[in-house]
């Protein structure tokens, strides 16, 4: 019998092979039948220090034997308390409260609910959310609502709420973006602007300058519109700094982190909030509390994994690894830029992206799955977004493995040109 597993973002009717992964170490995955796969996308942007990092694995094992789970509404535990304090020490000043959830999508939903709760509890019920064109914030109903509309969510469109969309600040169009944001912030009942700082991931690794982020933040501040940074992908060093917001000197009102929070080992997310947002929910009146939870909120084992991640950031040369990777990626990108059939070479820290083949290949064009299959045959885990191929590996990837990835992209581009 074929497997009963229903995979995400997978058309089972195409009967494409689904490799069975048995083991991971560093930037490498091993299939059950012994193939060595280079993980060039950090297993969907989560694995930062490499697979099965001994320190994270040990922290998980230790915590699992001490306290596996406890209700978090009205109860607490040491790993969550420590993690919240250590996060605030590590992250830029200005955010003072830490709310736990389980995924990037829920971190975003929590941020949206906090934003609306803030306005509601202040007796000024604003509800309109502004977003950037091409953005992606997750796959739950609320997160889809604030993401780009397309084939991904067409069937569910009747369930999605309306948002205001600001044009993406493409090169030469930055001022149009800022003007549109300024105008949209004046509209009635505007509650918050939600944005992926510096890089729009699932939207096609679209990048924009830090200066635009700085100015977008200033516009929101001027209008009293809450600024929500979704750093679910960009956080934990991907863009060269711990947070992408740092490069723009931006402190958001709400900050969403997930993916690399546990080094990519276990699902855990946080939404960090400013004191003003917390204060708007602080009262003797239960009706004004923040109404959100899930069964595993602040799961102790996941918190222990995140604490190990923070220890790695403090005690291992993570920033040096990131700088080295960024330099190697820049060199690889410079070579790729010379290859016929490669367009729009771009980089943000440890991430590089290029476009292959003809322009405008949508998500369902057969280019992406064809490339995916070709890379899989080469024992590479790369997953193009439409005609965009990007490389976002764990920071520990070797120079040789990274060069193998760059060479494969060049060869596939030449084959297509």
* Interface with ligand PLP, residue 204, by CB under 6 A: no
Q: Does 181 bind ligand PLP (CB under 6 A)?
A: no
Greatest CA separation for the chain: 67
185 binds ligand PLP (CB under 6 A): no
Which residues share a beta bridge with 389? Answer: 354
Distance CA 264, CA 309 (A): 9
Burial of 148 (0-12, 13-18, 19+ CB in 10 A): buried
Least distance (Å) between residue 105 CB and ligand PLP:
3
Among 201, 204, 235, 384, contact with ligand PLP (rule: CB under 6 A): 201
Residue 103 makes contact with ligand PLP by CB under 6 A: yes
> Does 349 participate in binding ligand PLP (rule CB under 6 A)?
no
- C-alpha to C-alpha distances, 160 to 104, 152, 187, 306, nearest whole angstrom: 18, 12, 20, 32
Q: Residue number with the shortest CB distance to ligand PLP?
A: 104
Residues 273-302 that bind ligand PLP (CB under 6 A): none
Residues in contact with 175: Cβ distance below 8 Å, sequence separation at least 6, in sequence order:
none
Contact flag: residue 197 with ligand PLP (CB under 6 A) = no
Q: CA-to-CA distance for 12 and 276, rounded, in angstroms?
A: 48
Whole-number Å distance between alpha carbons of 173 and 223: 22
By CB under 6 A, name the one of 39, 230, 355, 401 that touches ligand PLP.
230
List CB contacts of 48: < 8 A, sequence separation 6 or more. 42, 236, 237, 238, 260, 263, 264, 309, 394, 395
Residue 327: strand, helix, or coil? helix
Our finding on whether 109 is near ligand PLP (CB under 6 A) is: no
Stretch that binds ligand PLP, among 31-39, 226-234, 295-303, 337-345 (CB under 6 A): 226-234
> Of the two residues 201 and 237, which places its CB atom closer to ligand PLP in the complex?
201
306 is a contact residue toward ligand PLP (CB under 6 A): no
Of 196, 215, 401, 412, the one binding ligand PLP (CB under 6 A) is 196
- Helices 399-416 and 367-377 cross at an angle (nearest 10°) of 140
Please list, in sequence order, all residues whose beta carbon lies within 8 angstroms of the beta carbon of residue 158, skipping any fewer than 6 positions away.
none
Query: Out of 47, 105, 247, 347, which residue is the one contacting ligand PLP (CB under 6 A)?
Result: 105
According to CB under 6 A, which one of 26, 50, 79, 138 is a site residue for ligand PLP? 138
> From the list 233, 255, 272, 352, which residue makes contact with ligand PLP (rule: CB under 6 A)?
233
Using the rule CB under 6 A, which residue among 51, 126, 134, 137 binds ligand PLP? 137
Q: Which of 27, 37, 108, 336 touches ligand PLP (CB under 6 A)?
A: 108
Whether 126 and 189 have beta carbons less than 8 Å apart is answered as yes
Q: In the complex, which residues of this chain contact ligand PLP (CB under 6 A)?
A: 103-105, 108, 136-138, 196, 201-202, 230, 232-233, 258
């Amino acid at each position: 019998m074929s497997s009963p597993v229903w995979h995400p973002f997978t058309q089972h009717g195409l009967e494409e092979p689904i490799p069975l992964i048995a083991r991971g170490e560093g930037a490498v995955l091993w299939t059950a039948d012994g193939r060595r796969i280079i993980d060039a996308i950090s297993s969907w942007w989560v694995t930062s220090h490499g697979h099965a990092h001994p320190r994270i694995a040990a922290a998980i094992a230790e915590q699992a034997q001490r306290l596996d789970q406890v209700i978090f509404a009205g109860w607490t535990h040491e790993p969550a308390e420590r993690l919240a304090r250590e996060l605030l020490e590590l992250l830029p000043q200005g955010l003072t409260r830490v709310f736990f959830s389980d995924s990037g999508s829920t971190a975003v939903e929590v941020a949206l609910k906090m934003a609306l709760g803030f306005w509601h509890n202040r007796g000024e019920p604003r509800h309109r959310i502004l977003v950037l064109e091409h953005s992606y914030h997750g796959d739950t109903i609320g997160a889809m609502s604030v993401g780009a509309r397309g084939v991904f969510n067409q069937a569910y469109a009747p369930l999605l709420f309306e948002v205001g969309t600001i044009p993406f600040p493409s090169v030469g169009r930055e001022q149009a973006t800022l003007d549109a944001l300024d105008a949209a912030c004046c509209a009635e009942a505007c509650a918050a602007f939600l944005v992926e700082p510096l890089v729009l991931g699932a939207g096609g690794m679209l990048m924009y300058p830090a200066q635009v982020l700085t100015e977008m933040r200033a516009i929101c501040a001027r209008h009293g519109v809450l600024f929500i940074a979704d750093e679910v992908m960009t956080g934990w060093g991907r863009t060269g700094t711990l947070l992408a917001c740092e490069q723009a000197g931006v402190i958001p009102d709400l900050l969403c982190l997930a993916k690399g929070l546990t080094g990519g080992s276990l699902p855990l997310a946080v939404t960090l909030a400013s004191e003003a947002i917390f204060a708007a929910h602080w009262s003797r009146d239960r009706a004004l509390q923040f109404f959100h939870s899930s069964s595993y909120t602040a799961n102790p084992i996941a918190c222990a994994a995140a604490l190990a991640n923070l220890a790695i950031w403090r005690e291992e040369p993570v920033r040096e690894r990131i700088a080295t990777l960024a330099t190697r990626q820049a060199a690889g990108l410079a070579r790729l830029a010379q290859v016929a059939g490669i367009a729009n070479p771009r980089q943000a820290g440890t991430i590089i992206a290029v476009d292959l083949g003809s322009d405008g290949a949508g998500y369902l064009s057969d280019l992406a799955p064809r490339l995916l299959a070709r890379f899989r045959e080469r024992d590479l885990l790369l997953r193009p977004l439409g005609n965009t191929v990007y490389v976002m590996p764990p920071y520990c990837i070797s120079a040789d493995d990274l060069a193998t990835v760059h060479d494969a992209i060049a060869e596939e581009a030449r084959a297509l040109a």
